[in-house]
A and B are shown apart, each in its own frame.
Chain A
């Protein structure tokens, strides 16, 4: 019985750790899904721009010894600017219905940003300041990392703000209108390019926070994080349902917990295999994800 109890605590602890860390996946997933919801296109360079935002904020921290709050704000702003640039270079001038060209352009954007970071840092890992890194709460047999709890709450707050912007502001109204019927939105006087570029910038703001949060949670920034985060973000977006923000949040937390429990029982060698199998199962049996709606463009 003792052995069972001990194992139970270990497994639930692993799930809890994973769910908390999954909030970083959720933040990245929200960015992917926001852009897909607005334009019906995947911006594969999103996570790279988010991490580039984190790198920019780290430069500010090193150069000016800026406080942590400033670092997170700078990361968000830089990622927003990068998001706008990605829109300009990879989407703005590509014909609307050429989805493949836009996708490939954003893949190019991903590798370009990655290489710029590698060249700027020599690929060397850099220590990233952490918030509450020493905070570790022990509740009975369980331990909870204070920094991951912080990431979790920031994720919730960011999502709340984003939902408010989408459903309670004119920008949100415009974004939804352009997403649903771009011709009608244009006839009503909305600028499609302005709306799309603003969506990229808003998604970039969120990505910058996610990038800084992820770096703070790991305690290090390295270019090797970019590709795994991109892949996890895309998996989260598909499982949550393309275009669904609540879906991205729940899928992010779910994938985080799922991969940790797989790692506990099967080890690292099989972890990603099961996560990708999960993606495959969703694509086959529930292609619209947990909360995605069938796309009904007029």
Chain B
């Protein structure tokens, strides 16, 4: 009887011990699942004259990630959920060396699976150059870190590396369609002229190789000698174009635009192109207003479709038409606009892309099935990159964004906005 009781006692003790042991082993595991997060690290210009770009993108990225986390976060490979976490949003100050330094630091010292943001095209070009060119190329010791950019808009940058991805508008398509539409809407507009800032790669190249060419292609006539078509060697073509087209030039920090405005006034074109960032665009527009230059049409650079332009020269910019990848024209865009405004930022074509990128990261993480453990970072980065490359379409704020996995580029919906009574108004929606 006693023996049976002892046996029973032993079994109970064994059972309790097993339960306690299992609980002891399981507790840290359960805790680690709860503690896991999918880490991302952002960077952009948060100082210097382009500070607003970084500030707006950070506000948009953090707001979107907060919304994703509030809705349950992202699903990991093991079926559990984890929040997205912005480890930090660094200041790259639109400097090439700083962008590269942040990229290297992020790759080697953090568990971030993707770098997001980066402000200037020139900086992105340099930064993409240190990434591994082809995925899996063992002879290439380049950095293996997925980068998802929202602002570097100069055409063709993502093809530099298979680790580079962008969610920026396709300016070639945007301006081509814009001038086609302007041609059909304004048959009386025949001639055009314009100017650009030469110390900003995006402004200068977009003006020379995209905007002027698109206008010519759709039957607008450059005031002065005829503009040649760009040859297969683009650089050579741009030189020819500059020599022939007599485009007016200025610098981003210039304070005196009298000579350029007077030369354009003398040309008396029907349409004027101002391919410049807000500060110098405003300086030039104000000088044109002083000199009473009144074209029938005024077309600007995508990057100037922002609040900064209205802050700087609301009145002088009246009538300015710009194609843009963002306008609060859908319920999602209106809602995001309000949320980002409350977070202290403005939503424009660049920061809206930062918002969309947060959701793109969620989609890629869930498709990749990553583990988000500290010992699987390199593996997770590769899985994430492959998943990102395989996503052919994602939800954007004003419509679906299609993606080309081979080039890392996006094709985004866009609208045409114009400054009307001191506000940006959508004047045409080609979606």
Which residues of A line the B interface, CB within 8 A? 10, 13-14, 17-18, 21, 24, 115, 118-119, 122-127, 133-134, 136, 143, 145, 214, 217-220, 222-225, 227-229, 256, 259-260, 263-264, 267-269, 272
Contact = CB atoms under 8 A, between A and B. Distances in A.
Contact of A145 (B50, B253, B290, B308): B290
Contacts, number: 115
Interface stretch (B99-107, B312-320, B357-365, B396-404): B312-320
Contacts of B55: 122
Contacts of A260: 256, 258-259
Interface in B260-288: 260, 262, 266, 278-279, 282-283, 286
Given A119-B47, A125-B282, A143 B291 contact: yes
A220 B283 contact: yes
| Size class of the B contact interface (CB-based, 8 Å) | 35 or more
B51 interface: yes
Contact of B255 (A118, A218, A264, A268): A218
Contact of A227 (B253, B259, B282): B253
B316 A219 contact: yes
Interface in B100-157: none
Residue from A122, A223, A267 whose CB has the most chain B CB atoms within 10 Å: A122
Given A219-B316, A268-B198, A123 B48 contact: yes
B50 A123 contact: yes
29 contacts: A14-B258, A17-B256, A21-B255, A122-B52, A123-B51, A124-B51, A124-B52, A124-B308, A125-B279, A126-B311, A127-B282, A127-B311, A127-B312, A136-B290, A214-B255, A219-B313, A220-B283, A220-B313, A222-B279, A223-B48, A223-B49, A224-B252, A224-B279, A225-B255, A227-B253, A228-B255, A229-B255, A268-B249, A268-B250
Given A133-B290, A136-B290, A123 B52 contact: yes
- Of B47, B250, B259, B279, chain A has the most CB atoms within 10 Å of the CB of B259
Interface of B: 45, 47-52, 55, 198, 249-256, 258-260, 262, 266, 278-279, 282-283, 286, 290-292, 307-308, 311-314, 316
Contact of B286 (A24, A218, A272): A218
B283 A14 contact: no
Most B Cβ at <10 Å: residue of A143, A218, A259, A272? A218
Interface residues of A, dominant DSSP? helix
A214 B256 CA distance: 10
A109 to B, nearest CB: 17
Contacts of B47: 115, 118-119, 123
Contacts of A24: 255
Nearest to B307: A124
Contacts of A21: 255-256, 258
Contacts of B283: 218-220
B35 to A, nearest CB: 35
Which of A145, A225, A263: most chain B CB closer than 10 A?
Answer: A263
Contacts of B255: 21, 24, 214, 217-218, 225, 228-229
B334 to A, nearest CB: 23
A263 B259 contact: yes
Contacts of B308: 124-125
B58 to A, nearest CB: 11
List of 4 A-B pairs having minimum Cβ-Cβ separation, nearest first: A125-B312, A123-B51, A224-B253, A17-B258
A270 B48 CA distance: 25
A220 B51 contact: no
Given A18-B256, A124-B311, A269-B198, 14 more contacts: A14-B262, A115-B47, A123-B51, A124-B307, A127-B311, A136-B291, A145-B258, A214-B255, A218-B255, A228-B253, A229-B255, A260-B259, A263-B259, A268-B254
Q: Which of B55, B258, B307, B314 gathers the greatest number of chain A CB atoms within 10 Å?
A: B258
